[in-house]
Amino acid sequence: MIRMEPGSFRRPRRRPSRWVILVAVAAFLLLMALSGLATAWTDYLWFSSVGATSVWVTTLVSRILLALIGFAVAALVVWINLEVVSRCKVDPLVGGGPDDEVIRRFRQWIGARRIRAHLAGATLLGLLLGVAIASWWRDVLVWLNEVPFGKADPIFGVDVSFYVFHLPVYRNIVGWAIQLVVASALVSLAYHYLSGGIQRLPNRFPLVSRGVKSHLSVLLAALALLKAVAYRLDAYELLYSTRGAIFGASYTDVTAHRPALTLLMAISILGAGLLLWNMRQAGWLLPAVAGGLWLIVSVVVGGVIPAAIERFRVQPNQFNLERPYIEHHIEYTLDAYGLGEGQVETRDFAASPDLTSEDIAGNQATISNVKLWDPGVLVPAYSQLQAIRPYYQISNVDTDRYVIDGELTQVMIAARELDSEDLPAEGWVNEKLVYTHGFGEVISRANDVNPTTGEPDFLVRDVPPESIVAELQTLQPRIYFGEAAESGSYVIARTNQPEVDFPSGEDDTVVRNTYEGEGGVQLSNFAVRFAMALRFGDLNTLISPELTPESRVLMVRNVVDRLARVAPFMQADNDPYLALIDGRLVWIVDLYATTDRYPYSAPVIDERLGITSDLSRDFNYIRNSVKAVVDAEDGTMTLYVLEPTDPLTQAYRDVFPDVFTDASEMSEELRGHLRYPEDMFRVQSEMYATYHQRDPQDFFQDEDKWDIPGDPASSDRELLRGDAFDQTGRVRKDLRQSLPYYMLMRLPDEEELSYLIFQSFNPASRNNMTAFLVAKSGPADYGEIIDYRLPRGVLTNGLEQVSARIDQDPVISQQFTLLGQQGSEIIRGNMLVVPVEESLLFIQPIYLRAEGVLLPEFKRVVVVFGDQTTPIMSESLDAALAEIFGSARAVVDPDEDTVSEDAVTAPSDGSDEVQATVLRIDRLLTEADAALRSGDLGEYQAKVDEAARLTDRLVGLLEG
């Protein structure tokens, strides 16, 4: 008897049923399809909620149509070629070939499956090649709605619109057609081989049937003709050449490369003809000759000859030969960046050393609006003083101006946005229903400091926002949409769960609120809730009892992301800024129309753009043609067209007519808060540093090239594309370039205040100042750009030189040492160049941050005037100016037009100032003794007089 061990006999494991696997796969595919449909439908609902349904429809329909057209053309071409292969007469197998058995089996297999196989192959290649065309939708839409630039290129005489709108589409079509022909040829070649039309034989050339030869000849002829078209388009591409002394067509491009391309185009057409003629001839001699000729011409005419012309003709006489092309390059580059003829006014600026106290008094409005608060310092200061709760954040501080007490005043403004990463409690209800919005704004004067604490002196503060001036009352402070909102984040408002609005009272109670805005997508029925749940992968959206048919999903809450959806052709500025308009908080965002296809225009130098900037890295044309306004509560977007004559913007407007609004519909209050955009000005000033040299010879020799000066500040600022980093990953602040800044001031020879953005320049590789560029932002003069030129024969200190003078001053150095005791960090803010009359003041605020404390305090301000006066550091700007110019500045009565002679602002009387004054007197007397010993009586008397003046001031400080 055979005895079985227990457990030795087991049932065989049942494999999963094929149906189970099929059901699982089908369920997965269904879920993916439903998720895709849910995303598409909720996208439509979102576009509908913001009044931009036409954008969704136009974008989707154009993509689908292009994909269908591409698929149909590609599939048809491939199918025709497969049918041609199957109908080609095939010679009997000679025998003895290594692939005879494979050919026999393929013939047997394809016989009954030919139609299905052809359709499958055509469909597959049609999908692979055709669907890619959908990505052309932007280029195709603007091409169909092209608007002439009214300016022709200097080489071919073609309107610039051809290069911007037409050429990209033509290049795409030709490139795609070449890919299609090559793919068809490769598939046909393989099919011919498997069908026996091409037979490999031992020790012999392959045997090619006549039909195969004819078919491949036609495909190669088509490829040659397409290459001829590509050569023609390459001729236009010469206007983007980088081979010569400038960007664009150079002497060698026009005299050598252009004829070479014409010759290559002719050879390609000739080659196509020879290939078609060869269909009736034996062998491949004629096509081989054409191919060899094409190769020789490509190397010799397209490479060797242009190189020889460049080396032996151009280089010995480069400027004279390149002069007209340099002129084209300068003209078209300046036009492309909005700096062309009539767009920049040039004025002389004396940089006089003769500024007086009367001049200071006469420019009180300028002095009173000097920005003593660096935005990089204000972010941590605002955050420490005014974030109020951990779930609020202040991520950015901007500059603007408001009428306060009847005077236009420069202010700093920030939004108190929600910080979803630091909520007091986690969970879906808290994250999506309770903590939904930020609350209010923080505003302070740009030049005011709390004299007791060294902190900003707030005009608007706390929650709910409290304003000390009537002009800054906030009626709607809630911020559901902002610049700090994460991409993809969403909240649900108007639910059964009241939202946290703001903390109130000493008992730390919370005021709650229900959303009253009309923003977002309403969860009006089960289908919408189901679609939203699929979109976000969140079951709670479907099953939560807190949601009602009145609830609204607020998604795409980042203002830049919102605008990118409704204006997909445009690029946004890196710095949306908050404004209080008619009691409501809104975001103002500058939108740009850009292209990299403007002929002869140099590519952008983008080193001073932020690393998060929406602007691409390779454009060579830019217009700030649209100002977008986004309501912080309901997300309503209004896109005002500020430059309706820009052809790119006109084309975009024709594509999406419902998106844009005429600037004439903008309110006067809103116009008063438009700023010339900083990203635009950074780009323009960078390009202008080189292209202000309009004379071709100056440009060629870099005779008057400028540089952007270095940044003397040690405060934090945004990361830039051109920043250098040390081994620890920190920014090399010593290598940073200065950035432009906004000022409210009266320009020389002008009567009214201007709100403007300012950038100074140095001569190339020098540290002295040679010019400064301003762009105005006022309602009446918006967009005016003025180039102020300093005298060439007079050396005027630049930012780095002034910073060095401050570092070398023994009195200031000693005060820095005293301030930096016990581990405190001295932070030097932005150094401001402030034109007053025909003179320049250099002003740098100094802040102090105690060890272990995040809150920086304003401590001092350094003022430098001229080359002969000593840098002055004081506790206030008034005191520093009074010390330099001999008296305190006068105060203007707002009800009078004249300056009161006896009205003065008293300087600070702090003990540190007394000590600093004593040190200055001692130094002046030492310098006077040295001058006397050297026999310089004039210098001796000047030092003694200055010491006497400071002694009188010291007495006043001690008695006061």
Contact 784, 776 (CB under 8 A): yes
Please give the pLDDT value at position 14: 58
| pLDDT band at residue 100 using 50, 70 and 90 as cut-offs | low
Tokens describing residue 901: 């002679």
Question: Which range among 41-45, 235-239, 299-303, 736-740 shows the weakest confidence by mean pLDDT?
Answer: 299-303
* Count of other CB atoms within 10 angstroms of residue 283: 10
| pLDDT band at residue 894 using 50, 70 and 90 as cut-offs | very low
Among 142, 169, 144, residue whose Cα is nearest residue 594:
142
* Count of other CB atoms within 10 angstroms of residue 882: 23
Q: Which residues make Cβ contacts (< 8 Å) with residue 142, sequence separation at least 6?
A: 165, 569, 648, 651, 652, 655
Residue whose token pair is 């154009």: 62
Q: pLDDT higher for 288 or 102? A: 288
Distance separating the N- and C-terminal Cα atoms of the chain? 124
Contact 624, 677 (CB under 8 A): yes
Distances (CA, A) of 127 to 78, 79, 131, 139: 11, 13, 6, 21
| pLDDT band at residue 451 using 50, 70 and 90 as cut-offs | confident
Please give the pLDDT value at position 891: 39
Instruction: Give start and end residues of each alpha helix (H) in 551-706.
Output: 559-566, 647-655, 668-671, 678-691, 696-701
Q: Residue 762 burial by CB count (10 A; 0-12/13-18/19+): exposed, middle or buried?
A: buried
Name residue 411's beta-bridge partners: 400, 445
Name residue 400's beta-bridge partners: 411
Task: Round to whole Å and give the CA distance between 617 and 620.
Answer: 9
For residue 49, pLDDT beyond 60: yes
Evaluated on CA atoms 506, 512, 516, 522, the torsion sign reads positive
Interval 335-340 mean pLDDT = 96
Interval 611-619 mean pLDDT = 87
Task: Round to whole Å and give the CA distance between 491 and 488.
Answer: 10
For residue 890, pLDDT beyond 70: no
Name residue 571's beta-bridge partners: 592
Q: pLDDT higher for 904 or 474? A: 474
Cis peptide upstream of residue 168 (ω within 30 degrees of 0): no
Task: Round to whole Å and give the CA distance between 296 and 289.
Answer: 11
Interval 398-425 mean pLDDT = 94
Task: Round to whole Å and give the CA distance between 330 and 599.
Answer: 11
Task: Round to whole Å and give the CA distance between 45 and 47.
Answer: 6
Among 858, 900, 908, 901, residue whose Cα is nearest residue 883:
908
One-character DSSP codes across 362-385: HTHHHHHT---S-HHHHHHHHHHH
Q: Is 176 in a helix, a strand, or coil? A: helix
Among 733, 740, 580, 732, residue whose Cα is nearest residue 669:
580
Task: Give 279-317 pLDDT, tens digit per residue.
Answer: 777 777 777 887 888 888 888 888 898 889 889 999 999
Name residue 906's beta-bridge partners: none
Name residue 402's beta-bridge partners: 409
Contact 598, 336 (CB under 8 A): yes
Contact 588, 576 (CB under 8 A): yes
Please give the pLDDT value at position 414: 97
Please give the pLDDT value at position 896: 39
Please give the pLDDT value at position 518: 92
Phi and psi based region of residue 728 (left: phi greater than 0; alpha: psi -120 to 50; beta: remaining)? alpha
Q: What is the DSSP pairing of strand 584-595 with strand 741-746?
A: unpaired
| pLDDT band at residue 938 using 50, 70 and 90 as cut-offs | low
For residue 828, pLDDT beyond 60: yes
Question: Which of 160-174, 712-726, 838-852 is most confident?
Answer: 160-174
* Count of other CB atoms within 10 angstroms of residue 548: 12
| pLDDT band at residue 715 using 50, 70 and 90 as cut-offs | confident
Q: Residue 395 burial by CB count (10 A; 0-12/13-18/19+): exposed, middle or buried?
A: middle
CA dihedral 75, 76, 82, 88 (to 10 degrees): -170
Q: What is the DSSP pairing of strand 768-769 with strand 785-789?
A: unpaired
Distances (CA, A) of 802 to 171, 338, 708, 842, 862: 53, 32, 15, 8, 10
Q: Which residues make Cβ contacts (< 8 Å) with residue 755, sequence separation at least 6?
A: 401, 408, 410, 675, 742, 743, 744, 776, 777, 778
Tokens describing residue 489: 């984040």
Please give the pLDDT value at position 895: 42
Mean pLDDT of the chain: 88
Which strand (E) or helix (H) includes residue 656? none
Name residue 502's beta-bridge partners: 511
Interval 620-645 mean pLDDT = 97
Residue whose token pair is 């290129």: 153
For residue 362, pLDDT beyond 60: yes
Interval 597-611 mean pLDDT = 92
